[in-house]
Structure 1
Amino acid sequence: MRRADAERNREKILDVARAALADSGAGVSMAEISRRAGVGMATLYRNFPSRRDLLEALYTDQVTAVCEAAATVGGDTPGAVLTAWLQRFLAFTSGKRHIASELLAGPDGGSPVFGQSRARVLDAGRPLLAAAQEAGEVRLDLTLEQILDMIVAIAAISGDAGYLQPILRAAFDGLRPPADA
């Protein structure tokens, strides 16, 4: 178990790194993260021996938040709950471009974190999709994998939220069963 001050330092580093990568993208150095967090380089490297370790921790934390959101998002109907969670997934996907591209560019061409994360997200979202399909609010011929791939594709479109939201609404409209079904 970590000491309380060590855990605070770790969380401070993660918070600073999350904000720095969101603002600056992949260009922020470990030294800059250390400086912004107000911790020494030894503390930074004790918690995250490499930049890759830091990026994987950030990615994993955000995946955990998306998975936990599956249990806490609200809505009037199962379809609304699924839609709220998919919005959260879109925000996660959009905010992780720099981290994911840097992890993918690594020497092994990827990270086992991706496969594990996808499995966790699918496990968290499947009950939401099943409930929406059982309620007749989402087409039965779609899998969660297909829906998440659609969200990832939308997240890759350049543009701000005002530009992306109508595209996302059109995609959500396409999740509904046809009127003649």
Structure 2
Amino acid sequence: MRADAKRNRDQLLAVAGTAVAEQGVEVSMRDIARTAGVGLATLLRHFPTREALLEALMHTSFGDLTAEAGELERAQAAGDALVSWVRDCVAWTTEYRGVTVLMAAAIEDPDSALHSSCVTLRAAGARLLARAQAAGAARDDIDGEDLFALIAMLAWAGDQPALAPRADRLLGLVESAVLVGAGGGRGTPDK
């Protein structure tokens, strides 16, 4: 990639990250291009669809969360590893307004630019869940799809202005519902 093309791509991603965090995933592609100081055609050459732009924007974060799951598997007790990873996933998904809706749709759509990353992320969570279940720290009647849905639900709640103040309490309630026994993590959520 030529130096000027790389510079344009990097600038587009930087601007898009800020715009999506502030305005949500439906932010105008034209506004992103304008703020980045390039034409819409340049943006579309790099990212032909909104999903392609979002996938590029979130690719590093998906990779980081997947790697974190592997590190937690090796470094923490099973229940604590699961709780830590879920909390980090929820925190990350609330950084980009509206991304949970796209992720939930993308995981069911193999043609989506986000599909592969979402499937990989769900598999990482499923491994942590299975480990917690094998250790007796998590209920055995949920699976990776349920966990992914719970993360999406919690992130959606945190994205809603009326529910955002309760987001941490809701996360604690979900943790208590998923984890079992003394190794079950954080105990009773704050009232």
Deviation at 1:110, TM superposition (A): 9.4
Structure-to-structure mapping, 1:98-117, within 5 angstroms: 98-99=98-99, 112-117=112-117
Alignment partner, residue 17 of structure 1: 16
The answer (yes or no) to whether the contact 2:66–2:124 under 8 Å persists in 1 is yes
Distance (whole Å) between structure 1 residues aligned to residue 137 and residue 103 of structure 2: 37
Q: Deviations over 1:88-130 (max 9, x none)?
A: 221343344535657999xxx9952354333211222232222
The one-letter code of the counterpart of 1:25 is G
Give the 3 Å change call, closer, same or farther, for CA 146–41 of structure 1 in structure 2: closer
Alignment partner, residue 91 of structure 1: 91
Q: Which 5+ residue runs of structure 2 have no aligned equivalent?
A: 183-191
The answer (yes or no) to whether the contact 2:94–2:155 under 8 Å persists in 1 is yes
How high is the TM-score relative to the length of structure 2? 0.71
Q: Do residues 55 (structure 1) and 54 (structure 2) align?
A: yes
Alignment partner, residue 134 of structure 1: 134
The one-letter code of the counterpart of 2:69 is A
Q: Deviations over 1:121-160 (max 9, x none)?
A: 1222232222222222212222121122122222222322
Alignment partner, residue 36 of structure 2: 37
Q: Secondary structure at the match of 1:151?
A: helix
Deviation at 1:64, TM superposition (A): 3.1
Give the 3 Å change call, closer, same or farther, for CA 146–77 of structure 1 in structure 2: same
Alignment partner, residue 176 of structure 1: 179
The answer (yes or no) to whether the contact 1:67–1:121 under 8 Å persists in 2 is yes
Distance (whole Å) between structure 2 residues aligned to residue 118 and residue 124 of structure 1: 10
The answer (yes or no) to whether the contact 1:63–1:121 under 8 Å persists in 2 is yes
Alignment partner, residue 169 of structure 2: 166
The answer (yes or no) to whether the contact 2:12–2:36 under 8 Å persists in 1 is yes
Q: Secondary structure at the match of 1:113?
A: coil
Percent of pairs identical after alignment?
Answer: 34
Distance (whole Å) between structure 1 residues aligned to residue 104 and residue 177 of structure 2: 31
Q: Deviations over 1:12-56 (max 9, x none)?
A: 211211210221225532232123223344432321234443234
Q: Secondary structure at the match of 2:98?
A: helix
The one-letter code of the counterpart of 2:98 is H
Q: Which 5+ residue runs of structure 1 have no aligned equivalent?
A: none
- Cα RMSD for the two superposed structures: 3.2
Give the 3 Å change call, closer, same or farther, for CA 77–5 of structure 1 in structure 2: farther
Deviation at 1:171, TM superposition (A): 0.9
Alignment partner, residue 148 of structure 1: 148
Distance (whole Å) between structure 2 residues aligned to residue 99 and residue 34 of structure 1: 20
The answer (yes or no) to whether the contact 1:60–1:113 under 8 Å persists in 2 is no
Give the 3 Å change call, closer, same or farther, for CA 110–71 of structure 1 in structure 2: closer
Give the 3 Å change call, closer, same or farther, for CA 110–93 of structure 1 in structure 2: farther
